[in-house]
Homo-oligomer: A and B are copies of this chain.
């Protein structure tokens, strides 16, 4: 790990002086914690690491959070709020089941490229205490039910080919969730590109419709080489 080199924008400014602004300091802690949790995992990130990146010392953190887990929970809550927001937009989006699924994928994939969103699906929820764990699990189930209902809707309105909505939902959710494991903000792939091709591929499939005379469906860019995690 190179020193301060290209490390993603530390949020030190919030702690530059002792001005009393707990809100923005809490936020700064959460943002750098999220970065570190994604880089090294929750368990391998010590509170000294978090404090260090903010140019303060460990005990200072305890002015803003009661313990380490509360920081973790903060990341999860922020992330689920992001997801919630984007899912609400789809609800009153209208259209066929298939179109809703497509919108879901697009929107959800975008969230998976944002640090707090990534936390929700990438971090090990086994590090949560049982209460918080229950909360997170319940939320994940909610997302799953939503997606399944869109698929079910599509089967009923005839836009989606009959299948087991449960397995189909796992398949789609898996593809999208996995984004948070390989996406990197400064990588060659933009969130936009990913989200749109995911929405297309996962609904339309790979197969070329018979009688389709080479209409390049996505961006024409030849695959540049880059490594996945």
What is the interface of chain A mostly: helix, strand, loop, or mixed? helix
Q: Could you tell me the distance between the alpha carbons of A88 and B222 in the complex, rounded to whole angstroms?
A: 27
**Closest CB of chain B to A95's CB: distance in Å?**
13
Closest to A122 in B: B124
A5: Cβ under 8 A from any B Cβ: no
Within 8 A of B (CB), among A105-151: 124, 126-127, 137, 140-141, 144, 148, 151
Least CB distance, A118 to chain B, in whole angstroms? 13
Residues of B contacting A170 in the complex (Cβ-Cβ under 8 angstroms): 175, 178-179, 182, 194, 228
Report if A207-B159 is in contact (Cβ < 8 Å); known contacts: A168-B201, A226-B166. yes
Interface hits, A71-107 → B, CB 8 Å: 98, 101
Instruction: Say how far A162's CB is from chain B's closest CB, in angstroms.
Output: 4
The answer to the question of A60 belonging to the interface, with a C-beta cut-off of 8 Å to chain B, is no
Q: Does A212 contact B (CB under 8 A)?
A: yes
Shortest CB-to-CB span from A176 to chain B, Å, is: 7
**Chain A residues with a Cβ under 8 A of chain B:** 40-41, 43-44, 98, 101, 124, 126-127, 137, 140-141, 144, 148, 151-152, 154, 158-168, 170-179, 181-182, 189, 193-194, 197-198, 200-209, 212, 214-221, 223-224, 226-229
